[in-house]
Amino acid sequence: MPSRTPDDIRTALEQCYTAMEKLAADLSDADWQAQSLCPDWTVRGVFDHVVGIEAVLAGWLPESVEELPPFGRAAEFVADPAPYPDKMHAVFEQRRSDLASLSPEDYDRPSWMPVGPGTLGRFLAIRVFDIWVHERDITTALGRSTDDGGIAAELSLDQVDNSIGYIVGKKVGLPDGTSITFDLTGPVTRKLHVRVDGKAKAVDHLDAPDVVVATDSTTFIQLASGRIDPQAQIDAGRIRWTGDGELGDRAARNLRFTM
């Protein structure tokens, strides 16, 4: 997996903010109330979640892994009666300013994260993943196209890549002594290789994997996020496999590791 710089993370977040602002500007009243891919949220609920968390992070710079962000700000954002585009833009502008003020060293600050102790840079990379996936929770539900390439997509795929050993070992349950390659054909192209040798581990290369699962990067991320139905993707030919048919079918149906 490629290493990421602070500039990569900042650029990816700024792309996510801009994409969400453009999306909001083009929604009808009915669109705002439509069901998203998240079972409990309408389109408006997804926006409230995404922008509310960015409001929580506005101006926040952690001093330790124990210091929680001020989560009460999310409810304050939702309750704010200001026109939605205005209050969303204000939050994103503050976050752009925050990011511009961070030094490279700030990205290495110890920080609370939703997945456990880490660094501020790692937390911000997770924010890219969260926003990128939530944008597609809206656009996929509304039948709208998105630009699924670029650095934000690459960082979002990184979050799945980081967990690919866990996914293959615990979710797919690939047997000991077997191996798998995920061939992501675009817009982000990448090959993810995992061998099970007592434990499922990512490896740099496989000469002859037992199964090769091919799909596009967006379908892969949405399946890993539990957002879309695996059977529908299999039926549509958006995910397919060669080699061991039983292992390929199992992998295609069991990529979900988060929601």
pLDDT at residue 59 above 70?
A: yes
DSSP bridge pairs for 42? 35
Terminal-residue alpha carbon distance, the chain: 23
17-31 residue pLDDT tens: 999 999 999 999 999
Q: How far lies 30's CA from each of 35, 36, 41, 42, in Å?
A: 10, 12, 14, 10
**What is the SS3 assignment for 92?**
helix
pLDDT at 2 over 90: no
Q: Give CA–CA dist 184/164, Å, rounded.
A: 13
The model's pLDDT over 202-235, given as tens digits with 9 standing for 90+, comes to: 999 999 999 999 999 999 999 999 999 999 999 9
CB 191 within 8 A of CB 184: yes
Rounded to whole angstroms, the Cα distance separating 129 from 251 reads 22
Q: Band of the pLDDT at 42, cuts 50, 70, 90?
A: very high
This prediction's pTM: 0.96
Residue 258 — very low, low, confident or very high, per pLDDT cuts 50/70/90?
confident
Domains and CATH numbers, the chain: 6-157 (1.20.120.450), 163-253 (3.30.1050.10)
Average pLDDT of the chain? Answer: 97
